[in-house]
Structure 1
Amino acid sequence: MKHSYRQVDTKKNKNRAEHFQDKKFSFRPYLPLYVLLFIVFLMESLFLTIHREINLDEGWYLYASRLVYEGKMLYKDFAYTQGPVFPYIYGIFQQIFGTSIYVGRLTAMFFGLLSLFIACLIAFFIGGNSAVLITLALVMTTIFLIVQFSFVVTYSLASFFLMSSILIMLLKMKEQYKIFLSIFLLCCAIGVRLSILPVLPILILIITLKSEKRMQAFVLSVITCLVSLSLIFLPFYLSAPEQVVYDLFKFHIISLPFSSRLYSLFTLILNNIVDFPFAIMAFFFSLIVLFNKRPVSIKTEFIPILLALSIPVIFILHLLPFGAGSYYNTLLVLPVAIFTGWAISRIWEQMKNMPRKPFLIMVITVVFLNLMGQVDILIRYQLVLFKHGDSFYLEKPLQEIEEAAEIVKQNTTKESKILTLQTYIVVEADRSVMSGYEMSIFASHPFWDTATCRAFSRINKEIVQEQILKKFPEMIIIAGEDFNSLNISADEFNKWLGTNYSLLRKFDNFGQFNSTLFILKRVEP
């Protein structure tokens, strides 16, 4: 009887191997379609790279990417509230192609394309062509994701490392190499965006349970994890422990009264439901497929299990930071798309002897409704389309940044230190801001005392006043929202300026907040 069981098991494994080999080469008939879909995704990304509204975050991300290659130390020499990997990666492209917001956006688009390509490979390995097509359909119609992949924020780079980590688990290589690379790449993703951290213990658990040599796999996973995280974070912690703890953790968690926190949490959950209704439904649908009426094998379905466990923990973690938005969860769109692609491919296979047309119509309808909802997001958040009266129009928001940057270039030298929270103008002009202003609006802590501000590379009203009255910066650039951020009035600010500064240029409806921007030049005696 024992011998008979082994014969059956060997036959199953052989059939499974043949099935996998068939799928491996069956992508060729679909190749023209895949190429076409990637071209469409590329065109969507290029359109959004040009037309996506400017965001103040782009300035301080790119400015940090420049400073680290000038020898500055993150957290110690200037404030930076994300993991340390991003500036060193983006800084490479800035060094090669020049400091520019367009270069930064194209870099984001590049990693977005790579992330999608890797996601499609993962979908293909676990579900075949049907899984790839569903993954592409969901991603290409979730325009909110493409928006986040088309400007300078952490999502595309974090997705690239996360997808790469998952893909490694599917490749044919020695187990120890697979474990090392997968854990290391996931640690790099954590080094870009800390919210990915909960995936690490889940991945280690799955690696351990999946391995034939569990203790060896567990030890190697833990050692790789500790060494990788130490290499990424420890040098910065040793140089500035208090600043690292504040920038990476305390900054994101602000104490609020229970009622305010509860209201904020409820509002955020509601916004996620409104912005990602079909992604949420797709996730729960995939969960049902994974756990419905059959034992789940960690050996053959470790990727769906990894996705099923990782997606909700990242979602929950994204609810914690004060000021978090639904856009945080664009990071989860690729994992949800892969998971859904796998689930639908599984159902499609089970329907071989059943009419498939109604199911196909349902899937196409959901994808179409997802697209309609995402177009609504573009309009509602005014990310691309801007309303004027009863009509909508497109802008190229970087043009006004370039125009302001040109004025800065013409009236300053490369060594000039500019007093401004509008960091993206300084980046585009290839100039520098005064110490403490590196993080744009997040640099301002109006209720901190001056000593604390200096220790954590921040500014307050007293510091700004001192810099204007005693250091006489060559140029000052200030926008309407900056007065609120610094907790000062325009009249008070004008008193500090006195007759020492003249107005070079005034921009109306400028930047992310459509406020008035003033460029002021020091009057030489």
Structure 2
Amino acid sequence: MKHSYRQVDTKKNKNRAEHFQDKKFSFRPYLPLYVLLFIVFLMESLFLTIHREINLDEGWYLYASRLVYEGKMLYKDFAYTQGPVFPYIYGIFQQIFGTSIYVGRVTAMFFGLLSLFIACLIAFFIGGNSAVLITLALVMTTIFLIVQFSFVVTYSLASFFLMSSILIMLLKMKEQYKIFLSIFLLCCAIGVRLSILPVLPILILIITLKSEKRMQAFVLSVITCLVSLSLIFLPFYLSAPEQVVYDLFKFHIISLPFSSRLYSLFTLILNNIVDFPFAIMAFFFSLIVLFNKRPVSIKTEFIPILLALSIPVIFILHLLPFGAGSYYNTLLVLPVAIFTGWAISRIWEQMKNMPRKPFLIMVITVVFLNLMGQVDILIRYQLVLFKHGDSFYLEKPLQEIEEAAEIVKQNTTKESKILTLQTYIVVEADRSVMSGYEMSIFASHPFWDTATCRAFSRINKEIVQEQILKKFPEMIIIAGEDFNSLNISADEFNKWLGTNYSLLRKFDNFGQFNSTLFILKRVEP
């Protein structure tokens, strides 16, 4: 009898697990509201695409996306400190629509919209329409996330693959296809952003425990994982093992004295609490809802369990890199929003015979306060709003990039090699930088010896001096922050230039650091 009871219970759990899979997409009653909310999200994204301050990262991400389609190999031919998937995806759009920062930003926005749509599907499968509404509310009021989805960085593409991997687990298809696609898509996400790596063993564990044929599921998961990661990373590692290890791992982990590391860690945790207070509270609230009921069923609640385990692990990993910021954890906003949507939908269902109005007011209040806090982030970090005297004004920061790029176009040929760390100007002008400058400000390693710099596609003071004095690049573009990055003084740099270069244009308050930019043209004899 005991054995029979267990069999019946397993069957019951299986039926419950398939409940949301068999449920039809009853979006129709809420469709006008969903369309309206997505239009609002699109308008927010378009606004930030136009007005979001320029970032130096945009230049080297897009430049890498161009180089790989010119036959150059990541890590071996030029430095690149992220996984290899991003340049090949973004490069497709650059090949079709042309090399442009706006094209890159619209591409990011496109993957951001897809990520949100997939997140809403996940929320619907695990919690119904109420979960979708909460997910949308949290995402749309977390403007820091939309900022990261509106310019050229890894977050929107990584989110797209991560959300797709989770969604596959909820679709009705043969188990082996589910496992293969889910693991493969997660490996693609890791190939965009390595911090997603800890999710992989968690997903494999959940797939194994959830399956009726555990050993087969485990073996297929591990094989798919190994093959996928090998396809993504192994060709690059075999061609340049030392460069791959440095660019993907050592570059991000700088050895610091214990006191400095502790201070940096404390500051970063505090910044995350200040920037994401309601997301953090929502996560812990959802944890309580998940584990308040005993036992938690891996069959019916595998997605909430996956989110509950993955979110803190990624958060901890984001504390490790030197120079990490709270913006790293915008990657976690969609998972937290889905998890919270599920938790609130569960509470809402349990309150059907109780007064719901106070709970609803509390949820709306939290969402509103989250929005107010996110507006403060826009102002505090000056992402779109700039203070002039006592008033704030909006800029279109790409206009000055386009203006500088036009000067470059008029005074160089397509084959010209430009000496600059301002790669976003070169990208916009559809020109090329000299070897070693591909990664913009991160290309400079002033305390490395010259041989090491050349081996790892970096530059130092000696290399810059040699290139100016011996190779006479057709154009030099340098900004105020570049002198600090290269550890040289302006006077020393001017001595290298001598009478060989003339000033074409000077820009004040230019770019990410609002510094002075100089565009210099070689004087022909």
Describe the shift of the 1:3–1:240 C-alpha distance in structure 2 as closer, same or farther (beyond 3 A): closer
Moved more, 1-10 or 205-214: 1-10
Alpha-carbon offset, residue 27 of structure 1: 1.8
CA distance in 1, matches of 2:200, 2:10: 33
Which residue number in structure 2 is paired with residue 386 of structure 1? 386
The Cα shift of 1:6 comes to 8.3
Per the alignment, do residues 3 and 262 of structure 1 end up closer, same or farther by CA in structure 2, a change over 3 Å counting?
A: closer
Structure 2: distance between partners of 1:331 and 1:286: 18
Conservation of the 8 A alpha-carbon contact between 1:141 and 1:367: yes
Deviation at 1:24, TM superposition (A): 2.5
Tell me what 2:328 maps to.
Answer: 328
Deviations 1:201-236 (A, max 9, x none): 000000000000000000000000000000000000
* Superposed CA offset, 1:79-120 (max 9, x none): 000000000000000000000000000000000000000000
Rate the CA distance shift 1:290–1:416 in 2: closer, same or farther, 3 A.
same
Rounded to whole Å, the distance in 2 between the matches of 1:485 and 1:335 is 36
User: What's the counterpart of residue 255 of structure 2?
Assistant: 255
Separation of aligned partners in 2, 1:479 and 1:398: 16
> Residues of 2 paired with 1:3 and 1:446: CA distance?
70
Distance 1:17 1:177, change over 3 A: closer
Deviations 1:218-262, CA, capped at 9 Å, x for gaps: 000000000000000000000000000000000000000000000
Aligned mates of 1:214, 1:3 — CA distance in 2: 20
TM-score, normalisation: structure 1: 0.98
Following superposition, the deviation at residue 17 of structure 1 comes to: 8.0
Whether contact under 8 Å (2:436, 2:454) holds in the other structure is yes
Q: Normalized against structure 2, the TM-score is what?
A: 0.98
Q: CA separation of 1:442/1:30 partners in 2, compared to 1, >3 Å: closer, same or farther?
A: same
**What is the 5 A alignment of 1:171-182?**
171-182=171-182
The Cα offsets for residues 36-90 of structure 1, whole Å up to 9 and x where unpaired, read as 1000000000000000000000000000000000000000000000000000000
Tell me, yes or no, if the aligned pair for 2:468 and 2:496 is still in contact at 8 Å: yes
Compute the displacement of 1:7 (Å).
Answer: 10
1:464–1:300 CA distance, 2 compared to 1 (3 A): same
- Residues of 2 paired with 1:260 and 1:13: CA distance? 51
For 1:346-357, what aligned pairs fall within 5 Å after superposition?
346-357=346-357
CA distance in 2, matches of 1:3, 1:451: 70
Per the alignment, do residues 347 and 433 of structure 1 end up closer, same or farther by CA in structure 2, a change over 3 Å counting?
same
Deviation at 1:401, TM superposition (A): 0.1
Moved more, 24-33 or 184-193: 24-33
What is aligned with 1:371? 371
Deviations 1:139-176 (A, max 9, x none): 00000000000000000000000000000000000000
Distance of aligned partners of 1:13 and 1:250 in 2 relative to their CA distance in 1, 3 Å threshold: closer
Q: Deviation at 1:123? A: 0.2
* Partner-residue secondary structure (3-state), 2:24: helix
Q: Structure 1 10/524 Cα, relative in aligned 2: closer, same or farther at 3 Å?
A: closer
Coordinate RMSD, CA, aligned: 1.6
C-alpha distance 3-419 of structure 1, shift in aligned 2 (>3 A): closer
Distance in 2 of aligned mates of 1:177 and 1:71: 33
Task: Measure the CA separation in 1 of the matches of 2:175 and 2:212.
Answer: 10
Change (3 A) 1:412 1:202: same
> How far apart, CA to CA, are the structure 2 residues paired with 1:40 and 1:320?
35
**SS of 1:24's equivalent?**
coil
| 492-501 or 286-295, larger mean C-alpha shift | 286-295
- Answer yes or no: is 1:200 the counterpart of 2:188: no
Q: 1:22, CA displacement in angstroms?
A: 8.3
**CA distance in 2 between partners of 1:326 and 1:14 (Å):** 40
Kept after mapping to 1: 8 A contact 2:13/2:299: no
Shift of residue 12 of structure 1?
Answer: 5.1
Q: Shift of residue 28 of structure 1?
A: 1.0
Does the 8 Å CA contact 1:23/1:128 hold for their aligned counterparts? no
Partner-residue secondary structure (3-state), 2:76: coil
Q: Secondary structure at the match of 2:23?
A: helix
Shift of 1:329: 0.1
**Can you list the C-alpha shifts for 1:483-519, whole angstroms capped at 9, x where unaligned?**
0000000000000000000000000000000000000
CA distance in 2, matches of 1:313, 1:393: 39
Q: How far apart, CA to CA, are the structure 2 residues paired with 1:333 and 1:18? A: 27
Give deviations 1:420-467, integer Å, cap 9, x for gaps: 000000000000000000000000000000000000000000000000
Would you say the 8 A contact 1:450–1:459 is kept in 2?
A: yes
* Counterpart residue number, 1:517: 517
Please, which runs of 5 or more residues in structure 1 have no aligned partner?
none
Does the CA-based 8 Å contact 2:14-2:300 persist in structure 1?
no
- 1:279 Cα offset (Å): 0.2
Cα distance in 2 between the residues matched to 1:13 and 1:445: 58
Gaps of 5+ in 2: none
How far residue 293 of structure 1 moved from its aligned partner, in angstroms, is 3.4
In structure 2, relative to structure 1, the CA distance for the partners of 1:15 and 1:498 (3 Å cut) is closer
- With over 3 angstroms needed to count, the CA separation of the structure-2 counterparts of 1:216 and 1:411, relative to structure 1, is same
Distance 1:75 1:133, change over 3 A: same
Q: What's the offset of the Cα at 1:15?
A: 7.8
Moved over 3 A (4+): 1-23
1:304-354 Cα distance to aligned partner (Å, 9 max, x none): 000000000000000000000000000000000000000000000000100
1-structure distance, mates of 2:15, 2:496 = 80
Q: Distance in 2 between matches of 1:410 and 1:40?
A: 40
Q: How does 1:219-234 map to 2 (within 5 A)?
A: 219-234=219-234
The answer to whether the 8 Å contact 1:59/1:440 transfers is: yes
The aligned runs of 1:135-174 (5 Å cut-off) are 135-174=135-174
What's the CA shift for 1:5? 4.7
> What is the rounded CA distance, in whole Å, between the counterparts of 1:314 and 1:359 in structure 2?
30
d(CA) in 2 for partners of 1:11, 1:409: 68
On the 8 A contact 1:63/1:427 being kept in 2, the answer is: yes
Q: Distance in 2 between matches of 1:467 and 1:393?
A: 41
Counterpart secondary structure, 1:242: helix
1:4: how far off?
A: 8.5
Contact 2:21 2:172 in 1 (8 A): no
Q: Is the 8 A contact 1:105 1:152 kept in 2?
A: yes
1:20 to partner: Cα distance: 3.6
- Alpha-carbon separation, structure 1, partners of 2:65 and 2:424: 12
Give the drift of 1:25: 3.8
